[in-house]
Amino acid sequence: MNMAAWMMWRFFGSRQFLMSVLCGLFMHSSMADEAPGGAADQRAQAVTQVVLGILSYARWPVEPAQLRLCIIGPTQYTDDLVKGATQASGRPVLVQRLLASSTAVASHCDAVYIGQLSTDERNQLFTALAGQAVLSISEEGDQCVVGSLFCLRVSDDQVAFEVNLDSVARSGVRIHPSVLQLSRRRAAQP
């Protein structure tokens, strides 16, 4: 990519990503007036936007032409993700479900979205991912201390995320500093 194209992508791409993340973070609506399925659908869509935004600002040692996102374990907010998606850059995202014990996780996934797993399943998964350039996003926010790079905090009003900087440093996946700073600012607010 030539320098001018890269600079335009960086300028416009950064703004588009930050806008999509901010939309997810500040998703306020009258969910109390909606049917329960409507609120769940909106949360799933907001999670999809945040996940795709995070993925768009990650760089792998060898960039995949098609990003492979694997969903591991039972999840609450992946209904919109499993339909498949395309990143803002035009890169398709292939979504598949795998078991935590699957031997294909390390070789068939560029990113993993982790749902509810037992402690043993989680340890087994992170052991399989050790040394691999795989981005991990946990649906449960308290898992950031266990090994995930990103941990979502989903509520009726917003989707926020935390970053485990130690895991990012060990992952082999580079994350744009704007994403790291955005999570830091959100974590500082009550």
pLDDT of the chain along its 190 residues, tens only?
A: 333 333 333 434 444 444 444 444 433 333 334 445 678 888 889 999 999 999 999 999 999 999 999 999 999 999 888 887 888 788 899 999 999 889 899 899 999 999 999 999 999 999 999 999 999 999 976 667 778 999 998 888 888 888 988 889 889 999 998 887 776 554 444 4
Taking CA 44 as the corner, what is the angle to CA 42 and CA 49, rounded to the nearest 5 degrees? Answer: 95
pTM attached to this predicted model: 0.77
**How far, in Å, CA of 168 to CA of 172, rounded?**
7
Tokens (6 digits) for 72: 């591991």
- Tell me the three state secondary structure of residue 159: strand
Note the pLDDT of residue 59.
95
Q: How far apart are CA 146 and CA 5, in angstroms?
A: 38
Whether residue 67 contacts residue 55, with contact meaning beta carbons closer than 8 Å, is answered with: yes
Gap between the Cα atoms of 114 and 177, Å rounded: 23
